[in-house]
């Protein structure tokens, strides 16, 4: 009886370890934009992902609806199919969006398994 109980516990523990949780990046969470950018007149589209060979590409469009150029800082965060963040992280970058214009920003990764992305935009 005791041996059967130990075996059942072992099977339960091993089963729990092998089926890790999945943390999907919700489509409404793929774009994080600080309110200060919205106040400055900048809006953005959720990033779109495409795959080309070993490369995974993410593109997002920024729109400046103001009459002044706005410098936007941004960083892309990559996630695997389970929703786990992929390291090393992309470096933060900047782009100047001219008045009444749109600009595309993009990131490319060659990390196998990159399946989801989130872009963070700030002033």
Under CATH, which number does the domain 23-122 receive?
2.60.40.3230
- Please state the domain extents for the chain: 23-122
Q: How many Å apart are CA 72 and CA 94, to the nearest integer? A: 6
How many other C-beta atoms lie within 10 A of the C-beta of residue 19?
8
Is residue 44 within 8 A of residue 31, CB to CB? The reply is yes
Q: What is the pLDDT of residues 109-119, one digit of tens each?
A: 999 889 999 99
Q: What is the pLDDT of residues 51-108, one digit of tens each?
A: 988 899 999 999 999 999 999 999 999 999 888 999 988 999 999 999 999 999 999 9
DSSP character string of 43-55:
EEPPPEEEEETTE
Q: What is the mean pLDDT of residues 23-32?
A: 72
The pTM assigned to this predicted structure is 0.77
């Amino acid at each position: 009886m005791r041996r059967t109980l130990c075996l059942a516990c072992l099977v339960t523990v091993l089963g729990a370890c092998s089926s890790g949780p999945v943390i999907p990046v919700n489509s409404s969470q793929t774009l994080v934009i600080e309110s200060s950018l919205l106040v400055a007149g900048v809006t953005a589209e959720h990033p779109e992902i495409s795959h080309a060979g070993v490369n995974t590409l993410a593109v997002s469009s920024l729109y400046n609806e103001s009459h002044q150029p706005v410098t936007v800082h941004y960083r892309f965060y990559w996630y695997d199919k389970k929703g786990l963040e992929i390291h090393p992280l992309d470096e933060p970058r900047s782009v100047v969006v001219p008045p009444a214009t749109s600009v595309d920003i993009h990131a490319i990764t060659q990390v196998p398994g990159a399946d989801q992305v989130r872009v963070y935009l700030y002033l």
